[in-house]
Amino acid sequence: MDSSPRPADAWRLQGPYVAARPPSSLSFSLACRRLAAALAFVPMLAFGQPSVDAELAATREMVRFVPGEALRRLGGIEAAARRAPVATRAEFLFLYSDAFRRAGDPRQALALADELVGHGRSQGNDTVLAKGELARSYALTALNDLPGAHVAAFESERRAAGIADIALRVQTIITAGQAFQEQGNYPAALPKFQAAVDLARTIEDDQVPLSMALNGLVLLLTDMRQYDKGWEVQAESMALAKRMRSRGRQAIALLSEYGLAMDSAQYDRARAALLETLKVVRQLGARQMEAATLANLADSYLKDREYPRAADYAQQAVAAATAVNETKYLAVARINLGQAYLNMGRVAEGRQQFEAGLALYEKGRNLPQLQVVLAEYGNALERAGDYRNAISAYHRERAISNELFAAQRQKAMLELQHKYDTEKKQRQIEALRQENRVKGAELDNRRLQQRIWWLLAVVFALAAVIVGLLYRKVRQANAQLEVKNLELKQQSTLDPLTSLYNRRHFQDFMRTHALAERRQQAAAGDELVGALFLLDVDHFKHINDSHGHAAGDAVLKTIAAGLRDTLRETDMIVRWGGEEFLAFLPAVPRCGLDEVARRILRGVSSQAIAYGDKTLRVNVSVGFAPYPLAPGGTPLSWERAVNLVDMALYMAKSHGRNRAYGIHGFNGLERTTLEAIEQDLEGAWRNGFVDMAVVQDEAAAAEAQSAPVAELPGMAA
């Protein structure tokens, strides 16, 4: 797992290394910010404070690399610094906040940043306010409040726009560019970084702002995948760091080179950059950077399947992270150590390290990262042959996926509601304006009636025309409102990518129609039943990582179209979430369930998906069962039925993929319980309590093996 240290400190934990993707641009951006904050500002010496200013100057680099020692030294001058003039006190509060943040106390860092902002407001000093907003942006980022961090970054740039401190202006422009970069708004971010580089070149006596601007531009170009331009800027950044004879700047440039090399698939160059970084940060005594670099080296050797060396570097990373109490890097190091142990056959030790790393992620409630790590854990256990724990890991990952999906769905609904409310308010305003116009017309008519009686007939005619136009406009407004309501209803029930029904529509349907469906099937007898089929695209993550998310979207849309052709118009097809699809067949012969599963497998695997100059083929794993399921004569709720089908799907995953596992019925329930079956479906099947079918499409599998298709990384797993 890649921890990817970044040039300024907030090296966020990244997902598992799969297809040479470097750590996210967000981590790069945050890192650049923090180093720049520690290095960019030259203190304004205050008369009568030479010792405080000298200590601040000596501590500036220390904040970046050894924040614990910096906190001790800054604490020793706190009383004197708080009595110092405005500029000296501002520099002290800025460095003190940064040191607390880097030492792992972002809340104290935010409190000091707020104090710095208050100090700037009380003095009416835009320079101090710009520093304070920068410090708030860094602290809020460490607290995972990115929206608040972005607001502070933009406010910092606004405050610094007219000040004389060019180095501070460069830093605020960089930070604003990084905020756009974190939002994925690259067209807005690129001009910011270019402006920062141009402005930094005008500073003759300080090369630090130019170094920061060049490094930030490298990170942005890496995220934009403009690798040729990225290497050009990286060469200038490295040459500048060497001219400055600064080990810290060289370490930062090496880390940018590592990220760029990883993203452009130059793995040997990336590892060489990491090894050189390790040498430099050890000379600097920067233990946090050392821990992150060791974790990345372990990940590099995991990728090359050199598991003993990966375990050695991971153990060193655990020791380094423990020494500085860095839970972020400790979690990554333990995950990498668990990977190495599992691949070396040391399953118990591997599980112990993985669980220790997962506990750190769960403590921090980093759900997206925890989902990625659990998927990685399940794959590692599956490769090690520990299928029971692999299935457990998959279920834990699925629970988090459902939680994230629900949050995203709620956000989308709130956005739709906000849009509807806005349009409703606009319509109300327009109606009020129209009403005022009507009232004005009526007043004018009364005046005309009082003054010119002989034009009364003309006035009535004009009023009739106006009323007719108004009536026509009202009808048009009502028609437009009806269209908008239909559009909102469609958006709330259909998945925007595949145009299939979404999970919410299916849940509403089952709540409304489940009882009616059961009565219809009871009347039809035992020959016709309902059925649930749950599909999951095999190795879908590899498609996204190897060919990009656009290729993944093309695969999902093609599968959706194929399911429409394979199934009947009366069957409900649902995008269940991510790469999962659910099909509900209201009436199908009980003896034909296996054939439906075989048609689905064959229909998906036989499709050739054209993407760019490549042809992709994918398979799915399927779990299915008749519906309603009635063990012991008591029908299960549709939720429990879907859960059993999901367990059958994961059995298909764990037994080789590209196959279907179907539940036909239950046996010997007097010797077990339904809860026990739900806990361990595979064990229940092997003990004879569950009647299950295994369906494979042998013809499609043979054709897929002989067809010349694009190779996906890790498909053999």
- What pLDDT sits at residue 490? 64
Mean pLDDT, the chain, as a whole number? 82
| Other CB atoms within 10 Å distance of the CB of residue 576 | 23
Query: Quick check: 503 and 574 in contact, CB under 8 A?
Result: yes
Which residues are CB-contacts of 238 (< 8 A; sequence separation ≥ 6)?
250, 253, 254, 257
Which position has the higher pLDDT, 705 or 127? Answer: 127
Q: What is the pLDDT confidence band of residue 715, given thresholds at 50, 70 and 90?
A: very low
- What pLDDT sits at residue 491? 66
Is 90 exceeded by the pLDDT of residue 661?
yes
Is 80 exceeded by the pLDDT of residue 89?
yes
Tokens of 454: 């002989």
488-501: average pLDDT: 82
Give percent of the chain above pLDDT 90. 38
Q: What is the pLDDT of residues 239-277, one digit of tens each?
A: 998 898 888 888 889 989 898 998 988 888 888 988 988
Q: What is the pLDDT of residues 518-552, one digit of tens each?
A: 555 554 456 889 999 999 999 999 999 988 999 99
Is 90 exceeded by the pLDDT of residue 653?
yes
Q: What is the pLDDT of residues 195-232, one digit of tens each?
A: 999 999 999 888 889 999 999 999 999 999 999 999 99
Q: What is the pLDDT confidence band of residue 588, given thresholds at 50, 70 and 90?
A: very high
Q: What is the pLDDT of residues 139-172, one digit of tens each?
A: 999 888 999 999 999 999 999 998 898 999 999 9
- What pLDDT sits at residue 109? 93
Is 50 exceeded by the pLDDT of residue 8?
no
**DSSP code, position 40:** S
Residue 90, SS3 per DSSP: helix
- What pLDDT sits at residue 68? 83
Nearest residue to 390 via CA among 356, 361, 347: 347
CA distances from 358 to 334, 336, 423, 468 (A): 9, 12, 45, 70
> What predicted TM-score, i.e. pTM, was given to this entire model?
0.51
Whole-number Å distance between alpha carbons of 277 and 369: 25
Q: What is the pLDDT confidence band of residue 443, given thresholds at 50, 70 and 90?
A: confident
Query: Quick check: 383 and 342 in contact, CB under 8 A?
Result: yes
Q: What is the pLDDT confidence band of residue 710, given thresholds at 50, 70 and 90?
A: very low
